[in-house]
Amino acid sequence: MTVWHVRGVFLPDEQERDAWIVDGRLTFERVAGAETLIDRGWIMPGFVDAHCHVGMSPSGHHHDHGIQAAHAITNRDAGALLLRDAGSPVDNTYVQTRDDLPRLIRAGRHIARKGRYIRGLGIDIEPEDLVATVEQQAARGDGWVKIAADWIDRSAGDLTPTFPDAELAAAIGRAHELGVRVAAHVFGEDALPGLIAAGIDSIEHGTGITDAVIDAIAGKGIAVVPTLVNIDSFPQIAAQGEAKFPLYASHMRALFATSRDRVRAVWEAGIPIYTGTDAGGSQPHGLIREEIRALVGAGIPIAEVMAQASWRGREWLGLSGLVEGAEADFVVYATDPRATLEPMYYPQLTVLRGAPIR
């Protein structure tokens, strides 16, 4: 067994110290005979992509283990060492068997209203089956389930909620009884009050968050994962639907136009924002740094974005930061990554599960 030694400024405590890696975990107690990996730099827990879809890509759904591994490696090489898969129609548990791939927390399969979501992506059900389906997907995932809570309603020609509030409340309540958290896909405004009242745990995308609901979100401790790099596709989505659904197209453009202002308002209200790319949906994998850049561009300070993209994101998903006995998952940068965005593109060293990634 190789014992590794590193020295640098550890974040977030900003202390320069020595650390040793034994059996994949950190210790700050000296261990004899260790091999030094690096002796200077800024050491930060790896990034978290809290909304991605391993085994999916814009070209389709991939059951092949080699393709799934390639997706995971692309994310890892961009600095994301922890992934929350926010719903997938493929079994991607293979990724969890390899120590050289990012840690993966799965949400089972999307739960969607019949005829109201992307064909072939989710489990299509009617409202009366929502509780039972949440129970099934809770058993399939790793502490999360995912509900598609709004989508275009062709009869209305615009976004509308997919499930009634009463069924949502029952399903989210049942998930919490099972010790499982619930993430909700939601673009528009109308589905949010019911989700908030039901105690949703995370709002995915959240472009419809307005001042009318922002205090309620903050008061309930709900997190938001904006996926700004995916929201940037809204104008294209609007153009594709313009001919048949002009109201929907106009709505999507309006949501895009205010997306940065809304994200900044969410942050100013004290609501936790976590980084997610929606990789595997309409986006390629490996965009975590672009999402960080987009959040900073929305007016959130770099230091805040880095914290929630790294150690705070890990804590939210149940993993620790760089403390005694923690998993040794970190990236080393030559300069402070909270001062400017450039260092995140040039890591000096990546360590995953206690092993350097060569």
Q: Note the pLDDT of residue 2.
A: 86
- Are 18 and 164 contained in the same domain? no
Answer yes or no: do 117 and 182 share one domain: yes
Tell me which residue range forms the domain holding 151: 47-316
Which CATH number fits the domain that encloses residue 31?
2.30.40.10
Asked whether the beta carbons of 1 and 23 are under 8 A apart, the reply is yes
With the CA atoms of 189, 54, 272 and 42 taken in that order, what torsion angle do they form, in degrees rounded to the nearest 10?
-150
Q: How many domains does the chain have?
A: 2
Beta strands across the sheet bearing 80-85: 47-52, 80-85, 103-106
Provide the 10 A C-beta neighbour count for residue 296.
Answer: 17
Q: Which of 301, 316, 331 is the last residue of a domain?
A: 316
Determine the Cα–Cα distance for residues 289 and 302; give it in Å rounded to an integer.
12
Same domain membership, residue 231 and residue 106 = yes
CATH number reported for the structural domain that contains residue 220 in this entry: 3.20.20.140
Residues 295 and 346 in one domain: no
Low-confidence ranges of the chain (pLDDT < 50): none
Gap between the Cα atoms of 37 and 2, Å rounded: 11
- Length in residues, the chain: 358
For residue 237, give Cα distances in angstroms to 232, 241, 275, 295, 298: 10, 6, 22, 21, 21
Q: Is the peptide bond before 127 cis (omega within 30 degrees of 0)?
A: no
Domain boundary among 316, 333, 348: 316
8 A C-beta contact, residue 309 and residue 79: no
User: What's the confidence (pLDDT) of residue 289?
Assistant: 98
Q: Do residue 241 and residue 342 come from a single domain? A: no
Distance separating alpha carbons of residues 79 and 350, to the nearest angstrom:
8
Q: Helices 130-140 and 165-177 sit at what angle, rounded to 10 degrees?
A: 30
- Rounded Cα gap, residues 208 and 193, in angstroms: 11
Separation of alpha carbons 206 and 333, rounded Å: 32
Same domain, 166 and 59: yes
Q: Count of CB atoms within 10 A of residue 165's CB?
A: 14
Q: What is the pLDDT of residue 1?
A: 72
Single-letter amino acid, residue 330: F
Q: Contact 88/325 with Cβ under 8 angstroms? A: no
Residues 53 and 160 in one domain: yes
38 shares its domain with 54: no
Could you tell me if 15 and 110 lie in one domain?
no
Instruction: Check residue 287 and report its DSSP letter.
Output: -
Give the model's pLDDT for residue 161. Answer: 98
Asked if 283 and 144 sit in the same domain, the reply is yes
Kindly report the number of other CB atoms within 10 A of residue 102's CB atom. Answer: 28
- Given a contact cutoff of 8 angstroms between Cβ atoms, the answer to whether 274 and 204 are in contact is no
At which residue do the structure tokens 């640098």 appear? 8
Residues 198 and 112 in one domain: yes
Alpha helices in 11-161 (DSSP H): 65-77, 130-140
Same domain, 112 and 21: no
